[in-house]
């Protein structure tokens, strides 16, 4: 194996995980970021994000001298042959992608490059970015060989390490076959199908994949409403659908909709990409709208269950992160739900095993607990917003004895309605009217 010298620019989620992975695969990696405080933390082997398994991998690769951190981006560029761009690409008010961090990195590359480089764009960027960046760099550095390759990242938060070492596919978009093959060789030890494409296709595959997965979620959430009306169980409907290999069983869990740093941002960006070429991507508009409605309808469901009035009611919200195994609250459904419940006069007590530190900066007038029994104490109702394993394992009888009223409104369908009913709870979930009716009939 050829050991490459790689600089990763941007030590956010994608940068840190990718850099650590390339070090683990035996390459010499320097991760660079303008944020000096973050780099100082990383140099002390403190990980600024919550990601199972990352700490151990960072520590072992730093010890083996394959992984280092610096806030001197120029030095990282000068000492490496492959530059991975992994800076943030947030969404602007207009829906367009904010490219200011990418532009800043390109300007830094221009100032510090004196030898040939392959530049790999890992950040999720609009179609055509790779081509434009390559033109810009070649114009600015006419005597130096510069190739720009697109290598999108598909990892999920909370299982990033597993996903990176067990990818379904590795997508590499390149104009020059040599550059593409060199980036493929970096990852040749990884399983998963290698797909070599043109740059534009690689850039679109990332958006198309996230938009399609978001569509699966909004689809099943709409089905859940139909299930409630006709007396069916959305879990069984999803199971039956998923047994068809063309549909597949994944991403068909009905609930309170998707959140996080990727789906909301990437669906809006894909819609804008289509609009910019005069195409009205109707399905995607509906996917986004349904996701927002799902949160509002869930609040209506809570209100209806509690008799229409929330004023003065104490509600224990279990789970704040946008999904389990992360402390990430970006676009978390729980935040919208809490704000809506507060505006209706409810008093909120919240539990999350990982996200309380971030939550305390984002939520006002919420009592926070790292123990779910403390959060449930004297509550008029429990609302489940994130399917944390600690919630699944809770002692339901103890919870019931602590609550003022044994009412659970479950936005993640974590429990069996008949079982919860047997335990004495009024249990309301999403798209499972059949089970509720059956209990009522007993």
Instruction: Output the smallest distance, CB 422 to ligand UDX, in A.
Output: 27
The residue annotated as part of the active site, out of 262, 302, 382, 409, is 262
Pick between residue 4 and residue 157 the one whose CB is nearest to ligand UDX: 157
Task: Pick the closer one to ligand UDX by CB: 255 or 406.
Answer: 255
Q: How far is CA 26 from CA 123, 202, 427, in A?
A: 23, 26, 52
What is the DSSP code string of 95-125? Answer: SSB--HHHHHHHHHHHHH--S-EEEEE-S--
Give the max Cα distance, the chain: 81
User: CB neighbours of 300 closer than 8 A, spacing ≥ 6?
Assistant: none
Q: Tell which residue, 111, 120, 32, 106, has the closest CA to residue 73.
A: 32
Beta bridge partners of 29: 6, 67
Taking the least distance from each CB to ligand UDX, the nearer of 156 and 398 is 156
Is the C-alpha dihedral spanning 163, 167, 173, 176 positive or negative? positive
User: What is the nearest approach in angstroms of ligand UDX to the Cβ of residue 301?
Assistant: 16
Which helix (H) or strand (E) is 148 found in, with range? strand 146-150
Q: Which is nearer to ligand UDX, 221 or 421 (CB)?
A: 221
Minimum distance, C-beta of residue 352 to ligand UDX, in the bound complex (Å):
14
Question: Which residue is listed with tokens 């960006």?
Answer: 269
Q: Nearest distance from residue 214's CB to ligand UDX, in Å?
A: 7
Q: Shortest gap between Cβ of 195 and ligand UDX (angstroms)?
A: 15
Q: Could you tell me where the beta strands, DSSP code E, fall in 334-394?
A: 347-351, 366-369, 381-384
**Shortest CB 389 distance to ligand UDX, Å:** 14
Closest approach of Cβ 3 to ligand UDX, in Å?
Answer: 27
**What residues make contact with ligand UDX under the rule CB under 6 A?**
153-157, 210, 213, 217, 251-253, 255, 258-260, 262-263, 322-323
Active site residue 262: yes
| Residue 161 DSSP class | H
Cβ neighbours, 10 Å, residue 419: 12
CB atoms within 10 A of CB 59: 13
* 347-351 β-sheet, strand order: 366-369, 347-351, 314-318, 381-384, 407-410, 426-428
Closer residue to ligand UDX (CB): 49 or 438: 49
Q: How far apart are CA 380 and CA 309, in angstroms?
A: 12
Nearer to ligand UDX, 105 or 332 (CB): 332
Name which of 154 and 373 has its Cβ closer to ligand UDX: 154
Contacts of 252 (CB under 8 A, 6+ apart): 216, 217, 220, 238, 241, 242
* Neighbouring C-beta atoms of residue 128, cutoff 10 Å: 13
**Closer CB to ligand UDX, residue 113 or residue 253?**
253
Residue whose beta carbon is closest to ligand UDX = 262
d(CA 418, CA 422): 6
Classified as helix, coil or strand, 227 is helix
Q: Check: CB of residue 375 under 8 Å from CB of residue 316.
A: yes
**Residues that are catalytic:** 262
């Amino acid at each position: 194996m050829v050991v490459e010298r790689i600089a990763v620019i941007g030590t956010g989620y994608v940068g840190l995980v990718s850099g650590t992975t390339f070090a683990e695969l035996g390459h010499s990696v320097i991760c660079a970021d303008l944020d000096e405080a973050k780099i100082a933390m990383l140099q002390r082997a403190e990980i600024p994000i919550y990601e199972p398994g990352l700490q151990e991998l960072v520590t072992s690769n730093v010890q083996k001298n394959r992984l280092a951190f610096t806030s001197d981006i120029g030095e990282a560029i000068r000492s490496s042959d492959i530059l991975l761009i992994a800076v943030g690409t947030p969404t602007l008010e207009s829906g367009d992608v904010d490219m200011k961090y990418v532009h800043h990195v390109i300007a830094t590359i221009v100032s510090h490059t004196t030898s040939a480089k392959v530049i790999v764009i890992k950040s999720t960027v609009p179609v055509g970015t790779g081509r434009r960046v390559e033109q810009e760099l070649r114009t600015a550095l006419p005597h130096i060989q510069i190739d720009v390759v697109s290598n999108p990242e598909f990892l999920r938060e909370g299982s990033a390490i597993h996903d990176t070492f067990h990818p379904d596919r590795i997508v590499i978009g390149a104009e020059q076959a040599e550059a593409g093959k060199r980036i493929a060789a970096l990852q040749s030890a990884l399983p998963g199908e290698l797909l070599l494409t043109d740059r534009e296709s690689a850039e679109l595959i990332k958006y198309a994949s996230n938009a399609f997965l978001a569509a699966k979620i909004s689809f099943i959430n709409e089905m859940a409403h139909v299930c409630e009306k006709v007396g069916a169980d959305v879990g069984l409907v999803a199971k039956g659908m998923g047994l068809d290999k063309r549909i597949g069983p994944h991403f068909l869990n009905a609930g309170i909709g998707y959140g996080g740093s990727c789906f909301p941002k990437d669906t809006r960006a894909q819609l804008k990409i289509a609009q910019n070429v005069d195409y009205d991507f109707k399905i995607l508009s509906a996917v986004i709208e349904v996701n927002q409605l799902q949160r509002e309808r869930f609040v209506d469901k809570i209100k209806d269950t509690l008799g229409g009035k929330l004023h003065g009611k104490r509600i224990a919200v279990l789970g704040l992160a946008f999904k389990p195994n992360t402390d990430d609250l970006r676009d978390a459904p729980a935040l919208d739900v809490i704000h809506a419940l507060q505006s209706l006069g409810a008093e909120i007590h919240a539990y999350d095993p990982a996200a309380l530190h971030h939550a305390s900066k984002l939520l006002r007038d919420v009592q926070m607990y790292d123990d779910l029994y403390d959060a449930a104490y004297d509550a008029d109702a429990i609302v489940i917003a994130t399917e944390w394993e600690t919630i699944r394992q809770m002692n339901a009888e103890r919870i019931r004895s602590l609550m003022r009223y044994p009412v659970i409104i479950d936005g993640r369908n974590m429990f069996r309605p008949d079982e919860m009913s047997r335990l004495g709870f009024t249990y309301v979930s999403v798209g499972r009217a059949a089970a509720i009716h059956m209990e009522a009939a007993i």
